[in-house]
């Protein structure tokens, strides 16, 4: 290595390029620091060019002389410089002019070795090969004219594809041999990439030529086979025509399928539409055209099947038996007409009877399983379509065939799964269908559930008419509020209000226990669960309208019993008897008590009755008052996440009480306070007018300091004149009052006919009072003064 020479020179930072020794180029002076460095260097002075990458200066720069000064065509000042040699950057110093001054150590080029010459020759050969593949004759001629190894390596700085980082690395490599080894490695990488790209282009070109050649050969082969009459087994269209001939398809649908088969014959296999046509034909021909199951018209057998699968639910069972009776009668009349017995009364007996039911009730009452029981009673196939969370209208009607990956909707797909054109369709959770920018699925269901339209239901993907008129549709829902009115109008609503404790015991004994015994591997003789234990589980460990939680608790009991049976040593020890006294060993302490409602007489606290998505419930409504003067005196605050209707009911209650202050015996100054009425379960939204009498009673109790009887629950809408108007959900509310241990229930007089739907054992345990005015409510609910 030669001796180092130290110099102090102005520095010109380079942010968009790297200058290597022996380069002559023009540099634009676009920044103040660049112009300051040029001025400090003088007219023909010397300066150091330093690369600046990501805000960091390079460790090595290049010494350069200014050959000329001038301006670019756009007026920007510029320098013509000649780079002469490398220089290590030492430190920044204070110079004689403005700008950045650096102390640098000039580095002389090392002496040329034999190894360096060999590397230079190898590099030249690589460059020639690379130029032949990528082009660039001028660059190749420059390389041929340079023999000095160090200068040859530095010529890589002109390579446009070399990254800025690698050019800086090349500048900072002082040793000639190391420098040549780097550029050789980079040249080999570039050559490998060029060879790979050329190979890929060649393979793609050859592949396209091969496909074209195969297509021509296949066309010629097809023509030869056609001339020889040997194309029968190879013809896919022949298979589709044979499958279509075996189907009982409507004429318009058959014509559409035949058009698509003809189109398939004219479409080459390489055309992407060929696959679309094949998929469409497989889907359409795969539908169960003309396939129907015969209804089992034995009414007694149908009722036996329904009773065996479900306890209670008499209204639904009667509706299904009635529908079956109509079908039986129409079939008998049609048979009589064909036998020449003369015309019978009624419309066309051959036309299917539309059956579109909606089972509405809380979770766990058996709505979904009832659909399968109906199918079994009718002798039809059963298919379930889950609608919960569906937000895309195409899920019902299918996608247009123009979309990639299009397929039929859930209705057409369910027909294929059912294997017949008259199955029992269960549209599960129809109240949880959503809507967004992709469309409203409930709007698509309007055609499906309309008997006047569904005989020509058209799926967007199939684009043929599907006859759904003989399908039995059963929809399930927890709430009616979220179902659009036009869709609700197309369904016959059947409410399932939940089970009494006695019905739950029967369901657990006849249905749940046999199923759970099989799941847990137990035999009936190994476990004995008494009716008293079942009743205790239903009342003390569950609080629901259905039986899902009851099934979970019984499963927990049987798992504990299975553990005891498996651990027993003798057969005598393997008999497990479950009674009320040992429930706590398996289920822990009771979760619910019948005295959870208001059991302590206290002014302002009333038991109200409500209906939620889980069935009826007893809500303890609380009222209190706070002293206060000013314009807000006598204000009413309602809490518990209440809706507008419920809030208005509270204001009506307070206005009615004020108007009847003297008759109710309330002092005039009693209203100079702030009133607060709270409904529990604040996380659950509540709305509706049925809490009017409850809030009125709570406020009167508070203002008169008379407690409400703790065993009384009430419901009803109130008016400003003190009338009690009818409300909904009477059966569910009375069931909740009975579960909570209430002895008296107050309902509107106009709801008295609804008591016919309430089980007799519930009415036997409740004194139901039908009232017309608030005065009657207060007389029944308030303790004596």
Give catalytic residue positions.
690, 733
Give the span between the Cα atoms of 745 and 767, in whole angstroms. 6
- What are φ and ψ of residue 566, in 5° steps? -65, -30
Give the span between the Cα atoms of 742 and 673, in whole angstroms. 32
Tokens of 131: 């130029």
* Residue of 708, 692, 696, 709 whose CA lies nearest to 664: 696
- Residue pair 774/717 in contact (Cβ under 8 Å)? The answer is no
Identify the residue whose tokens are 């110093």.
93
Give the span between the Cα atoms of 14 and 57, in whole angstroms. 9
- What are φ and ψ of residue 542, in 5° steps? -135, 155
**495-527 burial string, b = 16+ CB within 10 Å, else e?**
bbbbbbbbbbbbbbeebbbeebbeebebeeebb
Tokens of 594: 């019948």
Q: Is 635 exposed, middle or buried (0-12, 13-18, 19+ CB in 10 A)?
A: middle
CA atoms within 13 A on the CB side of 505: 14
Tokens of 559: 């798992």
Pairing type for strands 673-678 and 615-627 reads: antiparallel
Give the span between the Cα atoms of 737 and 608, in whole angstroms. 9
Give the span between the Cα atoms of 616 and 597, in whole angstroms. 14
Query: HEC profile for 698-761?
Result: HHHHHHHCCCECCCEEECCEECCCCEEECCCCHHHHHHHHHHCCCCEEEEEHHHHHHHHHCCHH
Find the DSSP H helices in 15-163. Answer: 32-41, 114-134, 137-145, 149-154
* Residue of 292, 207, 289 whose CA lies nearest to 247: 289
- Full DSSP string of 399-448: --TTSTT----HHHHHHHHHTSSS-EEEEETGGG---BTTB-HHHHHHHH
Identify the residue whose tokens are 């087994």.
233
Containing H/E element for 487?
A: helix 485-489
Tokens of 535: 């009743």
- Residue pair 51/171 in contact (Cβ under 8 Å)? The answer is yes
User: CB under 8 Å to 538, separation ≥6 — which residues?
Assistant: 501, 504, 505, 508, 550
Q: In whole angstroms, how far apart are CA 644 and each of 227, 280, 641, 688?
A: 81, 52, 10, 8
- Residue pair 25/19 in contact (Cβ under 8 Å)? The answer is yes
Q: Which residues pair with 672 in a beta bridge?
A: none
Find the farthest-apart pair of alpha carbons in the chain and give their distance in angstroms, rounded: 129
- What are φ and ψ of residue 329, in 5° steps? -65, -45
């Amino acid at each position: 290595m030669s001796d180092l020479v130290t110099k102090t020179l102005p520095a010109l930072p380079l942010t968009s390029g790297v200058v290597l020794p022996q380069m002559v180029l023009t540099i634009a002076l676009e920044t103040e620091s660049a112009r300051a460095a040029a001025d400090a260097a003088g007219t023909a002075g010397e300066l150091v060019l330093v690369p600046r990458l990501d805000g960091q200066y390079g460790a090595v720069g290049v010494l350069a002389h200014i050959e000329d000064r001038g301006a670019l065509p756009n007026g920007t000042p510029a320098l013509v410089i000649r780079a002469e040699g490398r220089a290590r950057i030492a430190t920044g110093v204070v110079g004689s002019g403005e700008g950045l001054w650096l102390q640098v150590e000039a580095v002389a080029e090392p002496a040329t070795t034999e190894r360096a010459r060999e590397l230079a020759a190898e590099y030249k050969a690589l460059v020639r090969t690379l130029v032949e593949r990528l082009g660039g004759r001028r660059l190749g001629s420059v390389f041929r004219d340079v023999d000095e190894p160090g200068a040859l390596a530095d010529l890589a700085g002109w390579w446009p594809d070399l990254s800025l980082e690698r050019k800086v690395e090349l500048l900072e490599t002082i040793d000639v041999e190391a420098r040549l080894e780097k550029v050789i490695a980079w040249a080999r990488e570039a050559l490998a990439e060029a060879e790979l790209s050329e190979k890929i282009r060649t393979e793609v070109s050859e592949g396209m030529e091969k496909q074209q050649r195969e297509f021509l050969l296949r066309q010629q082969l097809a023509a030869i086979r056609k001339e020889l009459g040997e194309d029968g087994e190879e013809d896919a269209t022949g298979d589709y025509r044979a499958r279509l001939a075996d189907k009982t398809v409507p004429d318009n649908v058959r014509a559409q399928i035949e058009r698509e088969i003809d189109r398939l014959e004219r479409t080459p296999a390489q055309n992407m539409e060929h696959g679309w046509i094949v998929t469409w034909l497989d889907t359409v021909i795969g539908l169960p055209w003309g396939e129907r199951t015969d209804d089992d018209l034995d009414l007694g057998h149908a009722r036996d099947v329904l009773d065996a699968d479900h306890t209670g639910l008499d209204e639904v069972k009667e509706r299904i038996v009635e529908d079956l009776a109509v079908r039986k009668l129409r079939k008998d009349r049609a048979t009589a007409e064909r036998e020449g017995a003369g015309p019978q009364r009624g419309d066309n007996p051959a036309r299917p009877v539309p059956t579109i039911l909606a089972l509405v009730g809380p979770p766990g009452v058996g709505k979904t399983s009832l659909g399968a029981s109906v199918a079994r009673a009718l002798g039809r196939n059963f298919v379930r379509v889950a609608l919960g969370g569906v937000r895309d209208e195409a899920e019902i009607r299918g996608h247009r065939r123009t979309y990639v990956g299009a397929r039929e909707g859930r209705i057409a797909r369910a027909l294929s799964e059912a294997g017949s054109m008259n199955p029992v369709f269960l549209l599960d959770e129809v109240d949880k269908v959503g809507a967004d920018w992709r469309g409203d699925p409930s709007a698509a269901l309007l055609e499906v559930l309309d008997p006047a339209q569904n005989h020509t239901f058209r799926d967007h993907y199939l684009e043929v008419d599907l006859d759904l008129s003989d399908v039995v549709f059963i929809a399930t829902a927890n709430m009616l509020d979220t179902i659009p009115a036009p869709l609700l109008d197309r369904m016959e609503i059947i409410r399932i209000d939940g089970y009494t404790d006695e019905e739950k015991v029967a369901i657990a004994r006849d249905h749940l226990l046999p199923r759970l015994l099989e799941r847990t591997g137990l035999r009936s003789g190994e476990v004995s669960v008494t009716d008293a234990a079942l009743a205790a589980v239903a009342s003390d460990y569950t609080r629901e309208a259905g039986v899902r939680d009851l099934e979970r608790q019984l499963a927990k009991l049987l798992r504990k019993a299975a553990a005891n049976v498996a651990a027993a040593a003798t057969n005598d020890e393997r008999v497990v008897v479950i009674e009320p006294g040992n429930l706590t060993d398996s289920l822990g302490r009771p979760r619910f008590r019948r005295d959870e409602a208001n059991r302590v007489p206290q002014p302002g606290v009333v038991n109200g009755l409500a209906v939620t998505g889980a069935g009826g419930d007893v809500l303890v409504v609380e009222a209190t008052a706070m002293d206060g003067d000013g314009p807000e005196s006598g204000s009413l605050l309602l809490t518990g996440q209440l809706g507008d209707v419920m809030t208005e009911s509270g204001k009506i209650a307070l206005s009615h009480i004020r108007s009847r202050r003297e008759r109710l015996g309330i002092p005039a100054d009693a209203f100079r306070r702030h009133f607060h009425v709270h409904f529990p379960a604040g996380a659950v939204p509540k709305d509706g007018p049925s809490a009017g009498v409850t809030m009125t009673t709570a406020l009167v109790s508070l203002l008169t300091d008379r407690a409400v009887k703790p065993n009384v629950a009430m419901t009803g809408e109130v008016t400003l004149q003190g009338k009690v108007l009818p409300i909904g959900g009477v059966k569910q509310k009375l069931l909740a009052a009975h579960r909570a241990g209430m002895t008296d229930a107050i309902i509107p007089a106009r709801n008295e006919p609804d008591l016919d739907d309430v089980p007799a054992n519930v009415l036997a345990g409740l004194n139901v009072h039908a009232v017309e005015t608030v005065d009657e409510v207060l007389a029944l609910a308030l303790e004596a003064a």
